[in-house]
Chains A and B, each alone.
Chain A
Amino acid sequence: MNLDSQSVDLYWTVDGDLYFKDEDGDVGVADADENAILEGSIMRRLQSNVGDWRDQPEIGCNLSEFMGMPNTAETAALITDRIISTLTADDLVKGADLNVDVVPIATNKVLILLEVKALEPTLEGDEVLIGFSYDMRDNRMIPRMIGA
């Protein structure tokens, strides 16, 4: 894993913006606290297609390739494989530390749930839960609050 409990990066929102703090207007940072840096790295990859980042051509999951596919168990398996390979290819997450579930929640929509071993334990436990829905008709990804 290229992240550890001391890693600090700029905070990148799920909307794709830098975050500026309300109190002093300074740029926000993501670190191991609340595992924000880990969540950010994962979401950045899953929300990107290869080629979106000009100078980082390796980044991306290409979930858009599943747009228009039937919402079946086979498609869910393909999405699962794609996410696992994207996150484990360069050891961002070890395979043993990652669990991915893809479940249908509507005709064209699946809920994607990731359990990842946390950089630092949180009140909820040793794992970070990340969830988002993916609309295979509109190619839209919406983060979901898990366990809230």
Chain B
Amino acid sequence: MARVPNLRGDLTALKNLKSQFTQRAGVNHWAYDGVTRIISDNIAKEIGVAQALTSDAFESYQLAKAIGDDLDSLGQEMGGVNRLSPTFATIEDKHKNLMFYSTQGNFGNTNGGNDVIIPAGTIVSSENVSESIGVKYEILENYTIPWYEDKYYCSARAVNMGTGSNIGSSVLVNHDFKNYSRNGEFLIKCTNRYPVLNGRNTESDESFRYRISQRIPSIVQNNIESIRMSGLIVPGVLDLRIMPGYYGIGTVAVFVFGADGESSKALTEAVQTNLMQNQTPGLKIMAVPGVKIKFDFDIRVRTERAFNKLERDVLIRKVKKQLYDKLKSYESSSILPLGKIAIEVTEENPDIISMLSTDVSAPNFEAVYVTKFYADTPGHTGDRSKVIQSFYSLGEEEFCSLGHLNIKFEADI
């Protein structure tokens, strides 16, 4: 693939300009208010802007770099493919999924022996229909349910587009249909028997880029997208991080992540087997499990009164869950603000007055230790080191987990 020429940056241009002014005109006054400084800064800046525009324009024509509208154009030009549009999640009656049913025998019992008519536009929802929250679906046509039926399947479509309306089974359990005689007793209920997963967001650049690349035979054979797909088709693999040159020149490390970032030997080996099709002379692609960072916490908490054992156990479990949730929630940002996490745990636990620390290096926690190891390491062992900052930065191939939690209680008397 073509590469952007190695253009000189504005700092290099500035350095060259200064050098030329010094050599040719003898200028040596470079204070911020000097004429030559002002002129040089402006010229260098304009050069930098021009070069950035050149790079942007060039990259907008490169499949590997183009994004947004530029990628849409490339898709049309190179492969004749369009970005997938967002869709509404839909349920069809022939799939026997969304079901209205009577809790009093047949529908006739709910409506004085008559058929029940569910009109188009009836809303079924995960929460009370009147609530603004929850996932809502709309019935698409008028259904006349014969009085002798006890359940009936309908078609419906999500009110909102995208994956946000995808649902698991038994979620759509509320409706706003009241047009039957015993509606005050809520005798007609609804549910969806199976998950609904056909709602789709606008296709991401990454996914669209991959589809375009599949239309171009010369680049299908071996590229990051094909390596990624080789791994992702292994059941249980949820994410891959591909790091060229990780083990030296000519190597590519493919870090394998399953649910919650975990990985196993079997999973890694299955990915490695699939990656063999991508191996070429001079390139060694290696599947490796993600690197797990286990956090051990030593905590001293101050409480208003002395807790008995049961209360302590409850609090320990609660803190453990909070720490786990917070580590996972900050994991995606790669920065784990340990000091902030300690404050949040304290604020969310009325039983804890404060956390005490004699070590200023890890604020609020008495001590935090990390152990680093490949996720499939037997016994999860590795070197344990103390965190001496108030935050911890995760590498691209790393994910975090909660290790041991050691809480000491100190009560105010």
Binding site for B on A (CB under 8 A): 2-3, 6-12, 18, 27, 29-30, 37, 40-41, 44-45, 53-56, 58-59, 92
CA distance A117 to B26 in the complex (A): 24
Q: Which B residue sits closest to A37, measured CB to CB?
A: B29
| Interface band, chain B | 10 to 19
Is the beta-carbon distance between A55 and B28 smaller than 8 angstroms?
no
Which of B21, B33, B41, B42 makes the CB contact (< 8 A) with A45? B33
CB neighbours of B26 from chain A (8 A): 8, 29
Q: Which A residue sits closest to B27, measured CB to CB?
A: A8
27 inter-chain pairs at a CB distance below 8 angstroms, sorted by A residue, are A2-B29, A3-B29, A7-B28, A8-B25, A8-B29, A9-B29, A10-B21, A10-B35, A10-B36, A10-B39, A11-B35, A27-B25, A29-B25, A29-B26, A41-B31, A41-B33, A41-B34, A44-B33, A44-B35, A45-B33, A55-B38, A55-B41, A56-B32, A56-B38, A56-B41, A59-B32, A92-B33
CA distance A11 to B27 in the complex (A): 10
Is the beta-carbon distance between A9 and B36 smaller than 8 angstroms?
yes
Which of B21, B29, B33, B36 makes the CB contact (< 8 A) with A56? B33
Give A47 Cβ to nearest chain B Cβ, in Å. 12
Is the beta-carbon distance between A58 and B25 smaller than 8 angstroms?
no
Give A49 Cβ to nearest chain B Cβ, in Å. 14
Which of B21, B31, B36, B45 makes the CB contact (< 8 A) with A2? B31
A55-B45 contact given A9-B35, A10-B39, CB 8 Å threshold: yes
Q: Is chain B's interface secondary structure helix, strand, loop, or mixed overall?
A: helix
Give A35 Cβ to nearest chain B Cβ, in Å. 13
Give B280 Cβ to nearest chain A Cβ, in Å. 49
CA distance A120 to B152 in the complex (A): 102
CA distance A18 to B27 in the complex (A): 14
Q: Which of B25, B32, B33, B42 has the most CB of A within 10 A?
A: B33
Q: Which of B116-160 contact A (CB under 8 A)?
A: none
CA distance A7 to B29 in the complex (A): 5
CA distance A2 to B34 in the complex (A): 10
CA distance A27 to B20 in the complex (A): 13
Is the beta-carbon distance between A9 and B34 smaller than 8 angstroms?
yes
CA distance A9 to B33 in the complex (A): 10
Taken residue by residue from 16 to 60, chain B's Cβ proximity to chain A (1 for < 8 Å, 0 otherwise) reads as 000001000111110111111111011001000000000000000
CB neighbours of A41 from chain B (8 A): 31, 33-34
CB neighbours of B29 from chain A (8 A): 2-3, 7-9, 37
CA distance A71 to B26 in the complex (A): 44
CB neighbours of B45 from chain A (8 A): 55
Is the beta-carbon distance between A6 and B28 smaller than 8 angstroms?
yes
Is the beta-carbon distance between A59 and B28 smaller than 8 angstroms?
no
Give A89 Cβ to nearest chain B Cβ, in Å. 11
Is the beta-carbon distance between B42 and A55 smaller than 8 angstroms?
yes
Give A131 Cβ to nearest chain B Cβ, in Å. 21
Is the beta-carbon distance between A59 and B33 smaller than 8 angstroms?
yes
CB neighbours of B32 from chain A (8 A): 56, 58-59
CB neighbours of A37 from chain B (8 A): 29
Which of B27, B37, B39, B41 makes the CB contact (< 8 A) with A29? B27
Is the beta-carbon distance between B41 and A40 smaller than 8 angstroms?
no
Is the beta-carbon distance between B42 and A54 smaller than 8 angstroms?
yes
- Smallest CB-CB A-B distances: 6 pairs: A9-B29, A7-B29, A55-B41, A2-B31, A12-B35, A10-B35
Give B25 Cβ to nearest chain A Cβ, in Å. 6
Give B13 Cβ to nearest chain A Cβ, in Å. 14
CA distance A3 to B30 in the complex (A): 10
CA distance A41 to B34 in the complex (A): 7
Taken residue by residue from 164 to 198, chain B's Cβ proximity to chain A (1 for < 8 Å, 0 otherwise) reads as 00000000000000000000000000000000000
Q: Which of A2, A9, A58 has the most CB of B within 10 A?
A: A9
CA distance A56 to B27 in the complex (A): 19
CB neighbours of A45 from chain B (8 A): 33
Give A8 Cβ to nearest chain B Cβ, in Å. 5
Give A14 Cβ to nearest chain B Cβ, in Å. 12
Q: Which A residue sits closest to B22, measured CB to CB?
A: A8
CA distance A121 to B25 in the complex (A): 24
Q: Which A residue sits closest to B41, measured CB to CB?
A: A55
CB neighbours of B25 from chain A (8 A): 8, 10, 27, 29
CB neighbours of B31 from chain A (8 A): 2-3, 41
CB neighbours of B36 from chain A (8 A): 9-10
Is the beta-carbon distance between B28 and A8 smaller than 8 angstroms?
yes
Q: Which A residue sits closest to B32, measured CB to CB?
A: A56
CB neighbours of B37 from chain A (8 A): 56
CB neighbours of B28 from chain A (8 A): 6-8
> With contacts A7-B28, A10-B35, A29-B26 known, what are 11 further pairs, Cβ within 8 A?
A2-B31, A3-B29, A8-B26, A8-B27, A12-B35, A55-B45, A56-B33, A56-B37, A56-B41, A58-B33, A59-B33
CB neighbours of A18 from chain B (8 A): 35
Give A72 Cβ to nearest chain B Cβ, in Å. 31
CA distance A55 to B42 in the complex (A): 7
Give B146 Cβ to nearest chain A Cβ, in Å. 78
CA distance A3 to B27 in the complex (A): 12
CA distance A3 to B32 in the complex (A): 12
Q: Which B residue sits closest to A29, measured CB to CB?
A: B25
